Amino acid sequence: MRRLRGILIADPAIVLATVFFGTISLIVSFFDSTGAVQIRVARAWARTLLSVSGIRVRVEGLEQIDPAGSYVFISNHLSYMDTPVALANVPVQFRFLAKRGLFQIPFLGTHLSRAGHIPVPREDPRAAVKTMQLAAETIRQKRISLLIFPEGGRSHDGVLRPFKEGGAYIAIRAGVPVVPMVMLGTRELLPYGGGVVLSGTVTLRILEPIDTQGLTLRDRGALTDRVRELIVQELSVSSVAA
């Protein structure tokens, strides 16, 4: 068992899968400038991780989205397993807006960069604004989607943290709908600081898209609050049901 830039690696199968698919991703990146093939490789990596970990995913709300559409997905963030859950089950060409530290992880960082995922320099507000502008322009030009975890990192205790406004900013500037998305159960299988992935069933719930047409950047705070409230409601309902 070893620690890799903050990620505790306990399962050799996960390490091998990451190295294997990371290598394939690097190779195909020299022949695919769009990142589309690399996303398919990433989906295969995600499905492999879920399979070897014994994680089953129940997906709700897929009918809410058009696989050919462009969106900004905004999700709560409970675990490192949230990323493979999304990759394996959201059938849309999307990229991540992720903290810069992830781009420094061997193989994973190389894939993220060459596949077109976007690093966020959170320590530099001016650079962060430029990054959001670039993300909006990328959505418009490439007609892809973006997935954002607006809490700025995983929840340590499972409690939803305040949302940053970047996702709403990008969606309004790009003129695409915001899609609230809820992860349920991933923290129980791999909590913050955990090193062993447990098997079990998790739920990925896709909520109704929110149209941003007619909104201005001054509306980003209200839009962020609305998205967070919708996710809070879903988490509350699920908690009561459990």
Residue from 88, 78, 176, 163 nearest 135 by CA: 176
pLDDT for 178-193, tens place per residue?
Answer: 999 999 999 999 888 7
Other Cβ atoms less than 10 A from the Cβ of 78: the count is 29
Band (7; pLDDT cuts 50, 70, 90): very low
Domains along the sequence of the chain with CATH? 2-241 (3.40.1130.10)
% of the chain exceeding 90 in pLDDT: 54
Greatest alpha-carbon span in the chain: 52
Q: Is the pLDDT of residue 240 over 80?
A: no
pLDDT at position 97 is 79
Band (108; pLDDT cuts 50, 70, 90): low
C-alpha dihedral sign at 175, 149, 153, 24: negative
> Which one is predicted more confidently, 77 or 124?
77
191 SS3 class: coil
Q: Which residues contact 229 (CB under 8 A, 6 or more apart)?
A: none
Band (45; pLDDT cuts 50, 70, 90): very high
